[in-house]
Structure 1
Amino acid sequence: MKFSVLEKNLMKQLEERIRDTTPGVMVRAYQGGRIICDVAVGNTYPYYDLASLTKVIFTTQAMMQAFELGKWNFETKVSDVLPWFQHKETKLSELLTHTSGLVWWTPLYEQINWTESETVKREKLRKILESLPVEKKETAVYSDVGFWVLGFVLEKFYDKGLLEIWTDIKNKFYSGTTLDFHPGNQLPLKQSLFAPTEECPLRRKLVQGEVHDLNCWTLGGVSTHAGLFGSVDDVGWYSLHLRSQILGIARYSIRQKTAQLFAKRALPEGKGDWAMGYMMPTPGTASCGSYFSLDSIGHTGFTGTSVWYDPKMDMSVIVLSNRVLYGADNKAFASLRPEIHNWIVENYRRSGL
């Protein structure tokens, strides 16, 4: 396989840095809608646990579609959709921007039996969410819990279960990809094609082809906060779809006006770096490095994944890894990820592509 100068330089930089950071990493970059970089270094796999990329690929996309269908607006209260939700002033938009005041996380796997039926588990989750307090903070607090509430919101909007909603979203926006959940935590036929994540003490095995996130696993592998698996091609397709929505060139998609509205910075400076469901760069510590503009949108995943798009450079970067195989507490990847983005931009500018 013939590599460009950009790719050769990036591979050399990655080979020197991934030791003790991640078993392997796949990196793809697009500029102007065309691939400028596509490399794999170390021990890589066709499919990865995308973790919280699920939040943008599934949940944000489903919320945008519901917005276009007139089912909600930025002033809609959660209780307008879910009467059981006790915090009557909390808005749906606050769930997407992580400013609702809900706690960031709670161990569902200690409160819900994963072997119970989906109906029973959904009802237990509803009761847990119903009982949780809201404590407003000065700044945004990243919250999986807020996205669990959005799951119930989507079920109400579409009058379907989450897996059915996802199937419709996939067929409409991501047709032809292998993006998918593993419902019922069913292992794939070719488990070896999936990057292993972590030795799980609760499940007493190396997790491979089964969702890493214990709360998602407890809920049966399908959730609004985690659970999707995919390849670099799949996430690349998503990034191109995101780009085409924002640029207004997507067919059979949502309107450019809606896409741009959701991609706008939603919080005042210093209060949090969020658009509607998308991360935005935090100056000085952005996971997309120092060259991506402050108008960039994307998301990261706990397992070592990320997708970022900068509309000013018209550049997307996808990073897939299974850095948690070296331990969930392994923090080295957090410093490598922005370097990857910087190297791509620097090598691209030097290459004159």
Structure 2
Amino acid sequence: MVVRYQKTIAQLHALVDDQVVPGVSYTIFDGEEKTEEVFGASQLQPTTQPLWQGALYDVASLTKVVGTTTVMMQLVQDGKLSVDDEICRYLPTFGDERVTIRHLMTHTSGITGYIPNRNQLRPDQLTQALLGLHVGEDFNQRVKYADIGFIYLGWIIEHFYHRPVQQVIQEAVLTPLGMDQSTFQPIAAQCVPTEIQPQRGLIRGSTHDPKGYILGEHCGCAGLFSSLSDLTRFGQAMVTDNLAGILTNETMDHLFVDQTPMPGYHGRSFGWRVLPTCDNQPHMVIYHTGYTGTWMILDRQTKQGFIMLSNRVHPSANNPEFIERRHQLVQTYLQEK
């Protein structure tokens, strides 16, 4: 299998060789067969430290799909709610009756607005400010990726469970799947660091996302720390047995098609991005990234997947080259798979 993905693997190594990221942990799998490597450094500053097998990464927005999306789809398949329910039914403080759960899950809600001193607010102040945002001209017109929708979805989950969303994700997803290394409260020494910031110093073992840092266990858009082996377990379960039966076959079918409310193809399913494959039998794969330097691509039809973890925001988040390299890597993988 290594021969099959040699261009993809060469580009992954080039990320480290060219100092785009400190280190890389990846798995490429075809069913039960897999190739995985861990190489490079875990950190470059204040001292260079080697990367190790089993390291925990701040997976950032992979929290959205591993955790929040999975729990929301459980609620849908259990008949607790519909994706076309208005969100003000569950979040009455939010006043616009046009926005539905579908809009939140496909990033088509158009919710926007500026929050002064956002990163200095207390949790209650930030919650109030986020619920006070308004719907702009992008509503139901185009996909505009944003965290706010999944923060709202986390609070909708809390409406049903009466517990913080991150506790629900732990109980409803991580524990049943045996993702024993994954956690929202990691031991710092087990984590690769992310950014060095003036206010927070070297961030290690707490979420890099500023909104997630303030909201803590009430944040559904970020905050999960996970290992390569746990995310491989998740990915293989997604493409082989409907997440070990957590989701139904029908629910899984819905995740692999465009679910945006506008006519035509816009590349967004519930939570996930959907991409067409490059092979002789074109079909959709699901894909998501994390700001910190992570991504996951899963193909249910061929039972293949690609999980890549890095801390590309270390020592600085100012790393535009990573975004271009990521796009190239995804295209190379889709061509080679």
Structure 1 range deviating more: 232-241 or 33-42: 33-42
Deviation of the 1:331 alpha carbon: 1.4
Distance 1:40 1:58, change over 3 A: same
1:105 and 1:178 mapped to 2: Cα distance?
Answer: 37
CA contact (8 A) 2:236 2:303 kept: no
Q: Equivalent residue of 1:156, what SS?
A: helix
- Equivalent residue number for residue 325 of structure 1: 314
- Equivalent residue number for residue 48 of structure 2: none
Q: How does 1:117-196 map to 2 (within 5 A)?
A: 121=123, 123-137=124-138, 138-170=141-173, 173-182=176-185, 188=187, 191-196=188-193
Q: Equivalent residue of 2:111, what SS?
A: coil
1:271 and 1:5 mapped to 2: Cα distance?
Answer: 34
Cα displacement string for residues 282-302 of structure 1 (whole angstroms, at most 9, x for unaligned residues): x7xxxxx96695611121000
Distance 1:39 1:346, change over 3 A: farther
- Equivalent residue number for residue 272 of structure 1: 266
Distance 1:106 1:230, change over 3 A: farther
Distance 1:131 1:16, change over 3 A: closer
Within the alignment, does 1:97 sit opposite 2:96 as a pair?
Answer: no
Distance 1:58 1:82, change over 3 A: same
- Equivalent residue number for residue 116 of structure 1: none
1:35 and 1:108 mapped to 2: Cα distance?
Answer: 49
Within the alignment, does 1:314 sit opposite 2:303 as a pair?
Answer: yes
CA contact (8 A) 2:174 2:180 kept: no
Within the alignment, does 1:226 sit opposite 2:227 as a pair?
Answer: no
CA contact (8 A) 1:64 1:258 kept: yes
Q: 2:255 aligns with which of 254, 259, 262?
A: 262
Within the alignment, does 1:200 sit opposite 2:197 as a pair?
Answer: yes
CA contact (8 A) 2:292 2:312 kept: yes
Structure 1 range deviating more: 17-26 or 147-156: 17-26
Distance 1:327 1:269, change over 3 A: farther
Q: Equivalent residue of 1:274, what SS?
A: coil
Letter of the 1:193 partner, please give it. Answer: Q
Structure 1 range deviating more: 93-102 or 235-244: 235-244
2:304 and 2:329 mapped to 1: Cα distance?
Answer: 14
Deviation of the 1:91 alpha carbon: 0.4
Q: TM-score normalized by structure 2?
A: 0.85
Structure 1 range deviating more: 229-238 or 154-163: 154-163
- Equivalent residue number for residue 210 of structure 2: 214
Cα displacement string for residues 158-212 of structure 1 (whole angstroms, at most 9, x for unaligned residues): 2222233123213554224311102xxxx61xx3331111101221x11112211
Deviation of the 1:140 alpha carbon: 1.1
CA contact (8 A) 2:63 2:224 kept: yes
Number of equivalences: 321
CA contact (8 A) 1:104 1:143 kept: no
- Equivalent residue number for residue 117 of structure 1: none
Distance 1:171 1:340, change over 3 A: closer
Letter of the 2:297 partner, please give it. Answer: W
Q: TM-score normalized by structure 1?
A: 0.81
Distance 1:232 1:88, change over 3 A: same
Deviation of the 1:213 alpha carbon: 1.0
Q: Equivalent residue of 1:37, what SS?
A: strand
Deviation of the 1:57 alpha carbon: 0.7
Deviation of the 1:10 alpha carbon: 5.3
Q: Equivalent residue of 1:39, what SS?
A: strand
Within the alignment, does 1:238 sit opposite 2:234 as a pair?
Answer: yes
Within the alignment, does 1:61 sit opposite 2:50 as a pair?
Answer: no
Deviation of the 1:24 alpha carbon: 1.0
Specify every segment of 5 or more residues in structure 2 that has no aligned partner in the other structure, as ranges.
Answer: 42-50
Deviation of the 1:105 alpha carbon: 7.9
Deviation of the 1:155 alpha carbon: 0.6
Q: Equivalent residue of 1:318, what SS?
A: strand
Structure 1 range deviating more: 35-44 or 169-178: 169-178
Specify every segment of 5 or more residues in structure 1 that has no aligned partner in the other structure, as ranges.
Answer: 114-120, 284-288, 349-353
Deviation of the 1:149 alpha carbon: 1.1
